[in-house]
Copies of this chain bind each other. A is one copy, B any other.
């Protein structure tokens, strides 16, 4: 299953949140993120910088509207919203997706048409919290097991402190 994220309605005040959503998408194994709202080169540069250092081929692309992304997307769509069905009840069905999956996260106000156009509207808790948090829990549940090819930097996990391996250095 190839998973992509659509982050709706980016605004400049959301810089770090949109960046976090994109990095969550990458860390948990998505292929790339689309975002609508304001085009923001600083967000794109941050994400592309992480890809360059930490490996893999994740992309970030601005899109004119959610309808454009949906129209060009040949696969299932899951919208994460606090108003949706608890995701645990549907994750089994979502994991059976063959082909492509688009995971949609809001924006301040999500149009009703997005709810209608998605295959699933799913709540990661039915409490207000965080797009980045909801996305991380949902993607973790998909168990995508990503590999990050050709990283410049790689962490060697430690009980205490930090250990980073840098390519070409011993």
For the complex, give the distance between the alpha carbons of A21 and B137 in Å.
14
**Binary per-residue interface labels of chain A (137-170) against chain B in the complex, 1 for a CB within 8 Å, 0 otherwise:** 1001000000010000001011111111000000
How many copies of the chain does the oligomer comprise?
A: 2
- Secondary structure at the A interface, as helix, strand, loop or mixed, is mixed
Contact B85 A158 (CB under 8 A): yes
| In the assembled complex, A134 has its CB within 8 A of some CB on chain B | yes
Residues of B within 8 A of A125 (CB): 27-28
Chain B: CB-nearest residue to A140: B137
Residues of B within 8 A of A13 (CB): 16
| In the assembled complex, A93 has its CB within 8 A of some CB on chain B | no
Q: How many residues from A make CB contacts under 8 Å with B?
A: 48
A136-B136, A160-B121, A161-B112 known; A130 vs B20 contact (CB < 8 Å)? yes
A16-B17, A17-B20, A83-B163 known; A155 vs B126 contact (CB < 8 Å)? yes
| In the assembled complex, A26 has its CB within 8 A of some CB on chain B | yes
9 contacts between A and B (CB under 8 A): A17-B17, A26-B127, A50-B128, A83-B155, A84-B158, A126-B157, A129-B132, A132-B132, A137-B140
